[in-house]
Amino acid sequence: MIKSVYTSRSFITSLTSPVLQWCNAHPPNARPINAMLLCYRNIFKGFHSANGSAWAVQALDSGLLTATLRACKWIDAAEHPELFGVVEKLLSDMLSKYLIFRSVLRVVRRCLRQVTKLGLGTKESAGALWGAWRVFQVLAEERLSLLDAWDRKGGRSERQLCSRLQCTRQDDEALKRCSGCLGPTYCSKECQRLSWPLHKRGCRESRQMLLDGLEMPRDKLDVSFIRFITKLEINRRLPKILRDALQAGVPRSTIVLDINHTVVPMTFTVKRVSDFGPPRRSGDGGEDHSPAGRGWRGMADALD
Ligand SMILES: [Zn+2]
Ligand SMILES: [Zn+2]
C-alpha cells in the first residue's frame, strides 16, 4: 500500500506543492515548518531508494529547487535547526549526488534558468544556506558544460526530443513526463496517446519495477556519460593517484581505483586488485542504491 502511494501519480509533485506554497509565507508559523520537514523527509526516502534519479527528476520537475531557494531567506539556523539541516543536506548532498545523470542534468539546466529569472540563489537571498547552494550550483554548472562537451564529442543532440518516434519537436521546456513510469517525455497529450500502444508494455514493466523497488536497467548513454566524467576526473588527479600508488607500494600496472560517486565530491582511492572481493549482486541485501553505486568494475575501462 505504502509502495503504491509512493509510486502513485505525481506523488513527489504533491509533496513539493505544499513546500512551494509555504515557502512564500512571511513568516511561516510552526505548523508549516513541521509539515515541510515531513515533506522533505519523504522526498529523501524517494532519493534513497532504487531509481533515486527518477525521483530526483520528478522532484526537480515539480519545482523543488525554486521552492527550497525561496525558503532559504527565512530558514534560520538557530530558530529552525532541523529544517536548516535538511535543506543544507538536500542542496549540498542529496541533489548534488545525482548530477551524474543526463536525465537529472537536463532538468537542472531548466531549473537554473528559472532560478536566475526569479532572482533566487543570490548570496543575499540564500543567506546562511549560501554555502550549500554554491556546492550544488558550481557542480551543476561544471557538469552541464561537461554534458555539452560529451554531446559535441558524440555528435548527439542533448536537446530532449518528444518520445514519440515520428515527432521531432525539441522543446525541453514543454515536454511532460509519463507519470506512470517517469520515463519518456511527450510534447503533447496527443503524442502520448499515439505512443501508448507501443509504450504500454514497457510502461507497465517499469512501473512494476518502481513498485518493487528494483533498480531499472541503467541507460547506456548515462553509463557512457558517467565514464566520460570519471575519465576526466582521473586525468585531473593522475599525479596524486600515481604518488599514492607509489607510497602504498602498488605497482603502476596493477592499480585499481575505488571510485565513490555517492559522496560529493567523488573520491578516488588507490587499491590493489586483491583488495576487492566479488562484486555484490542484486538481492544480496545491503546494496548501495545511491547514484551509480560504487563501480570499481567500470574503472578498468576508465584507466585504458
Ligand atoms: Zn511530440
Ligand atoms: Zn510510461
Band of the pLDDT at 24, cuts 50, 70, 90?
A: low
From 101, 123, 153, the end of a domain falls on 153
Cβ atoms of 39 and 62 within 8 Å: the answer is no
pLDDT digits (tens, 9 = 90+) for 142-170: 999 998 888 877 645 455 678 888 887 76
pLDDT at 8 over 60: no
In a domain, 84, yes or no: yes
Residue 275: the pLDDT is: 73
Tell me which ligand sits closest to the C-alpha of residue 184: 2
pLDDT digits (tens, 9 = 90+) for 193-210: 999 998 998 888 888 887
Residues 184, 265 share a domain: no
Question: How far apart (Å, rounded) are the C-alpha atoms in residues 44 and 223?
Answer: 24
Distance 168 CA to ligand 1 centre (A): 7
Distance 193 CA to ligand 1 centre (A): 10
Distance 192 CA to ligand 1 centre (A): 7
Band of the pLDDT at 287, cuts 50, 70, 90?
A: very low
Residue 111: the pLDDT is: 93
Residues 165, 254 share a domain: no
> Residue 94 has what DSSP assignment?
I
Residue 13: the pLDDT is: 59
Residue 141: the pLDDT is: 95
Band of the pLDDT at 297, cuts 50, 70, 90?
A: very low
In a domain, 285, yes or no: no
In a domain, 68, yes or no: yes
In a domain, 4, yes or no: no
Question: How far apart (Å, rounded) are the C-alpha atoms in residues 56 and 21?
Answer: 20
Percent of the chain, pLDDT > 70?
A: 75
Tell me which ligand sits closest to the C-alpha of residue 198: 2
Distance 174 CA to ligand 1 centre (A): 10
From 112, 132, 153, the end of a domain falls on 153
Distance 213 CA to ligand 1 centre (A): 30
In a domain, 31, yes or no: yes
Residues 267, 248 share a domain: yes
Q: What is the mean pLDDT of residues 298-302?
A: 38
Pick from 7, 14, 2, 45: which is nearest to 182 by CA? 7
In a domain, 291, yes or no: no
The domain in which residue 79 lies consists of 9-153
pLDDT at 134 over 80: yes
More confident residue, 91 or 42: 91
Look up residue 236 and give its three cell numbers.
585531473
Does the CA dihedral 302-282-7-59 come out positive or negative? negative
What mean pLDDT, rounded, does the chain reach?
Answer: 77
Crossing angle of helices 11-23/30-48, nearest 10°?
A: 150
pLDDT digits (tens, 9 = 90+) for 67-100: 888 888 778 888 889 989 999 999 998 899 899 8
Indicate the number of domains in the chain.
3
pLDDT digits (tens, 9 = 90+) for 238-278: 888 888 888 888 887 788 888 887 677 788 888 877 776 66
pLDDT digits (tens, 9 = 90+) for 206-222: 888 877 777 777 777 77
More confident residue, 1 or 89: 89
Residue 113: the pLDDT is: 94
Distance 181 CA to ligand 2 centre (A): 4
Which residues have CB atoms below 5 A from the ion given as ligand 1?
Answer: 162, 164, 167, 169, 187, 191
Residues 243, 186 share a domain: no
Looking from the CA of 255 toward its CB, the CA atoms found within 13 Å total 25
In a domain, 242, yes or no: yes
Residues 257, 146 share a domain: no
Most confident of 21-35, 166-180, 273-287: 166-180
Residue 116: the pLDDT is: 93
Distance 152 CA to ligand 1 centre (A): 24
Residues 120, 146 share a domain: yes
Q: What is the mean pLDDT of residues 12-24?
A: 63
Cβ atoms of 154 and 169 within 8 Å: the answer is no
pLDDT at 175 over 60: yes
Distance 141 CA to ligand 2 centre (A): 30
Question: How far apart (Å, rounded) are the C-alpha atoms in residues 227 and 5?
Answer: 35
Question: How far apart (Å, rounded) are the C-alpha atoms in residues 86 and 34?
Answer: 12
Band of the pLDDT at 58, cuts 50, 70, 90?
A: confident
Residues 174, 138 share a domain: no
Residues 16, 121 share a domain: yes
Residues 198, 229 share a domain: no
Residue 129: the pLDDT is: 92
In a domain, 19, yes or no: yes
Residues 144, 23 share a domain: yes
Residues 225, 192 share a domain: no
Tell me which ligand sits closest to the C-alpha of residue 178: 2
Residues 249, 205 share a domain: no
